[in-house]
């Protein structure tokens, strides 16, 4: 984010406290957005891993498999591992949904702020990434 480049003529736009707060809010949301995007990517990745491993686990022909809890691997019966994996998938799905709705919310707020700020400051402000 930047204001007028040095030396360029000031186009007489007063920045009021309300404007400043809106600029700040935008900046804050921008950071929050990039954090959320990282989180979302990580969760997607985790979900993919879980899907793959569940697929493998359904095919595997062993009575007991090693399932990691904490830092240790435990020899658990295959059906129990499947059950645990299914629970893991449910958990990650909820987490992904949560992140998605947060992203949507932030996006909407940012769009509103963008409209306001561009209407007020026009070319004097740059809100693109």
Partner 1 sequence: MSSIKESEANYVNPRGIPQAPFVEKVEDYVQSRDQVESILKSFQDMLQKYKFMEMSTLRREAGLKEKIPDIQKTLDMVKFLDASCNTDGELESITTSYELNDTLYAKAKITPRDTVYLWLGANVMLEYTNEEAIDLLSSKLKSAKDSLESCKEDLEFLRENITTVEVNTARVYNWDVQKRKEDREAAELK
Residue ranges in contact with partner 1 by CB under 8 A: 1-4, 6-10, 14-17, 20, 23-25, 27-28, 31-32, 64, 66, 69-75
State which H helix or E strand residue 64 sits in: strand 64-69
Shortest reach from residue 26's CB to partner 1, in Å? 9
Overall residue count recorded for the chain in this entry: 129
Helix (H, G, I), strand (E, B) or coil at 75: strand
- Tell me whether residue 54 or residue 88 sits nearer to partner 1 (CB atom): 88
CB of 76 to partner 1, least distance (A): 8
Closer residue to partner 1 (CB): 5 or 119: 5
Q: Which residues pair with 72 in a beta bridge?
A: 69
Residue 77 β-bridge partners: 64
Q: For residue 113, how many other CB atoms are within 10 A of its CB?
A: 19
Q: Tell me how far, at minimum, the Cβ of 95 lies from partner 1, in Å.
A: 13
Nearer to partner 1, 57 or 106 (CB): 106
Residue (55 or 101) nearer to partner 1, CB: 101
Strands in the chain per DSSP E: 64-69, 72-77
């Amino acid at each position: 984010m930047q204001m007028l480049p040095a030396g360029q003529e000031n186009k007489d736009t007063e920045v009021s406290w309300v404007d400043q707060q809106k600029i700040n809010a935008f900046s804050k949301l921008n950071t929050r957005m990039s954090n959320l995007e990282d989180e979302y990517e990580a969760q997607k990745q985790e979900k993919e891993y879980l899907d793959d491993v569940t697929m493998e686990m359904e095919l595997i022909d062993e009575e007991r498999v090693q399932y990691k809890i904490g830092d240790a691997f435990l020899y658990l019966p295959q059906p129990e591992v499947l059950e645990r994996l299914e629970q893991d998938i449910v958990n990650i799905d909820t987490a992904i949904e949560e992140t998605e709705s947060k992203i949507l919310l932030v996006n909407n707020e940012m769009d509103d702020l963008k409209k306001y700020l561009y209407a007020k400051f026009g070319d004097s402000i740059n809100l693109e990434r």
